[in-house]
């Protein structure tokens, strides 16, 4: 029996897996996010409290099972800035406060950006660290970069991160899979300390005084959610790809370095040392769908699903979903979402449909950037798969079949177990399939791009 902890943006999940990778129990506990004027933060102690609640629920569901586990591993959100020993709130991946610092680093240390394999952006932890030094000069200590790194520190006492998460920081040499030499001094934050770098399948320590768990159980480093989700979706070989749509979204494909574009975010494969994941991320995913449902359908999910039984008409408004800022195809600040072409005939129903259409068009842009062959089926995982109307919209508007695995929200846990060497990589299993409605293909995508894209 294995225990996997998934510390996501909206909840911490716990999953018990049998040695053949079958889920025997699961539990989750929500966490809160605090947002104000481009600042996006969470309290690390909330992750700890949620983790304790998850363990209590698993114990209640399966008494005695936690006492018989053979190993523990973790996954969680990446691109955070967290000081586990200092008590400061965690600066999340979607936080945009470091725009000026990112521009400064692009000009000052282009060689570090080149070695990192990814451009500095306001989301990059290196830029956030520079912001913190300039604005909170008394802050010091060792920094980690994933919510699961914080929990690993609490469970084992070690400051560690994995190479997949580290690739998002702007401070790891992507080719060597090690911290770039003298990187903290180069970017001007030398009083901070970087954690130890581990591969996902390296042991971080052993359990000690964790409720309902025996002492001495091996604890593995695991991997950030970009790696665990890919592994859980069965994205193993070159050309394999998937799309994730949770609070945010991204598409990822396995490539070698020669197949990567400058607009791709490159991560080491958590499964094969010589391969890369080319990721094209978006800030706006399920959180926008929830906003649209609450704003126009009064939070009534059944009403929203009924409205999605038809596509927008040609004369309906267009929608850019950048409510929370954006990173592709261009950086945008928070509050950049907007409608185009609203008229007196617009209604909550038509605006809701236009909103979901705009979300789908935004997702289509990252499919194009990922160079996924036209018409090739695509696996979609994350909470968005629970909306049949949204998935049918996306299938028709992207003109490709979509495969939605059952219980896809637990695939990152499976992927973390595979990346940690606890179970073999697995395929996504049984899926719901959505097929494009060829009788109602939309011609509005080009107009949407002209209205909103650079």
Q: Is residue 97 part of a domain?
A: yes
Q: Which of 387, 383, 326, 280 is nearest to 8 (CA)?
A: 383
Give the pLDDT mean for 41-64. Answer: 98
Give this prediction's pTM.
Answer: 0.84
Which three-class secondary structure state does DSSP give residue 381? strand
Domain that holds residue 272: 231-452
Domain boundary among 164, 191, 221: 221
Task: Say whether both 169 and 279 belong to one domain.
Answer: no
Q: Residues of the chain with pLDDT > 90: what percent?
A: 81
Task: Say whether both 40 and 183 belong to one domain.
Answer: yes
Task: Say whether both 106 and 238 belong to one domain.
Answer: no
Domain boundary among 221, 249, 271: 221
Instruction: Please give the backbone phi and psi of residue 222, each rounded to the nearest 5 degrees, phi first.
Output: 70, -165
pLDDT of residue 259: 59
Task: Say whether both 183 and 148 belong to one domain.
Answer: yes
**What pLDDT band is residue 258 in, cutting at 50, 70 and 90?**
low
Task: Say whether both 291 and 366 belong to one domain.
Answer: yes
pLDDT of residue 400: 94
DSSP state of 383: G
**What pLDDT band is residue 197 in, cutting at 50, 70 and 90?**
very high
What tens digit of pLDDT does each residue of 68-86 get?
999 999 999 999 999 999 9
In angstroms, the CA 220 to CA 203 distance is: 4
Which stretches of 329-383 are assigned E, i.e. beta strand?
332-334, 338-340, 378-381
In angstroms, the CA 300 to CA 303 distance is: 5
pLDDT at 374 over 90: no
pLDDT of residue 43: 99
∠ CA(33), CA(61), CA(67), 5° rounding? 95
**What pLDDT band is residue 428 in, cutting at 50, 70 and 90?**
low
Q: Is residue 357 part of a domain?
A: yes
Which three-class secondary structure state does DSSP give residue 287? helix
Give the pLDDT mean for 129-135. Answer: 97
Report the range of poorest mean pLDDT among 94-103, 363-372, 425-434: 425-434
Task: Say whether both 166 and 315 belong to one domain.
Answer: no
Task: Say whether both 200 and 262 belong to one domain.
Answer: no
In angstroms, the CA 79 to CA 94 distance is: 8
Q: Residues of the chain with pLDDT > 70: what percent?
A: 98
Domain boundary among 191, 221, 251: 221
Task: Say whether both 149 and 216 belong to one domain.
Answer: yes
**What pLDDT band is residue 261 in, cutting at 50, 70 and 90?**
low
The set of residues, in sequence order, having a beta carbon less than 8 Å from that of 257 and lying 6+ positions away, is 266, 276
Give the pLDDT mean for 195-202. Answer: 98
User: Which DSSP string corresponds to 210-276?
Assistant: -TTS-TT-EEE--EEHHHHHHHHTT--STT-EEEEESSSEEEEEEE-GGG--TTSEEEE-SS-TT-E
Q: b/e string for 247-283 if b means 16 or more Cβ within 10 A?
A: bbbbbbbbbeeeebeeebbbbbbbbeeebbbbbbbbb
pLDDT of residue 89: 98
pLDDT of residue 262: 65
The enclosing domain of 204 has a CATH number of: 3.30.420.40
Task: Say whether both 292 and 350 belong to one domain.
Answer: yes
Q: Is residue 226 part of a domain?
A: no
pLDDT at 330 over 70: yes
State the virtual CA torsion across 211, 216, 220, 221 in degrees, nearest 10.
Answer: 70
Q: Which secondary structure element, helix H or strand E, spans residue 14, and what is its range?
A: strand 11-17
pLDDT at 425 over 90: no
């Amino acid at each position: 029996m294995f225990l996997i902890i998934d510390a996501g943006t909206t909840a911490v999940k716990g999953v018990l897996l049998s040695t053949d990778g079958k889920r025997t129990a699961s539990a989750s506990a929500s966490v809160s996010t605090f947002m104000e004027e481009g600042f996006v933060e969470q309290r690390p102690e909330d992750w700890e409290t949620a983790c304790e609640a998850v363990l209590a629920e698993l114990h209640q569901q399966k008494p005695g099972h936690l006492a018989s586990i053979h190993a523990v591993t973790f996954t969680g959100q990446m691109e955070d800035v967290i000081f586990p020993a200092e008590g400061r709130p965690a600066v999340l991946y979607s936080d945009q406060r470091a725009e000026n610092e990112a521009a400064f680093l692009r000009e000052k240390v282009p060689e570090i950006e080149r070695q990192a394999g990814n451009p500095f952006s306001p989301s990059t932890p290196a830029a956030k660290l520079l912001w913190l030094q300039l604005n909170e000069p008394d802050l010091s200590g060792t920094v980690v970069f994933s919510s699961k790194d914080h929990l690993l520190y609490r469970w084992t006492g070690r400051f560690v991160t994995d190479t997949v998460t580290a690739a998002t920081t702007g401070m790891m040499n992507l080719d060597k899979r090690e911290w770039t030499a003298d990187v903290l001094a180069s970017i001007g934050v030398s009083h901070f300390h970087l954690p130890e770098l581990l591969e996902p399948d390296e042991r971080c320590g052993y359990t000690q005084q964790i409720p309902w768990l025996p002492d001495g159980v091996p604890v593995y480093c695991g991997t950030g959610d970009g790696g665990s989700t890919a592994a859980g979706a069965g994205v193993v070989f070159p050309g394999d790809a998937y799309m994730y749509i949770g609070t945010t979204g991204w598409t990822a494909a396995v490539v070698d370095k020669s197949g990567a574009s400058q607009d791709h975010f490159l991560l080491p494969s958590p499964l094969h040392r010589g391969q890369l994941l080319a990721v094209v991320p978006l800030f706006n995913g399920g959180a926008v769908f929830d906003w649209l449902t609450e704003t126009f359908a009064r939070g009534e999910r059944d009403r929203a699903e009924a409205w999605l039984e038809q596509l927008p008409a040609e004369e309906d408004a267009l929608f850019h979903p950048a409510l929370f800022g954006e990173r592709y195809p261009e950086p945008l600040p928070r509050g950049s979402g907007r409608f185009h072409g609203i008229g007196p005939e617009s209604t909550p129903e038509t605006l809701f449909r236009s909103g979901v259409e705009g979300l789908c068009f935004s997702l289509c842009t990252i499919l194009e950037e990922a160079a996924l062959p036209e018409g090739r089926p695509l696996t979609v995982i994350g909470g968005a798969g629970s909306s049949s109307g949204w998935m049918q919209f996306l299938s028709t508007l992207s003109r490709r079949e979509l495969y939605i695995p059952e219980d896809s929200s637990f695939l990152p846990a499976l992927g973390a177990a595979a990346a940690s060497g606890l179970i073999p990589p697995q395929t996504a299993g049984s899926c719901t399939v959505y097929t494009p409605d060829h009788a109602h293909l939309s011609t509005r995508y080009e107009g949407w791009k002209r209205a909103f894209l650079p």
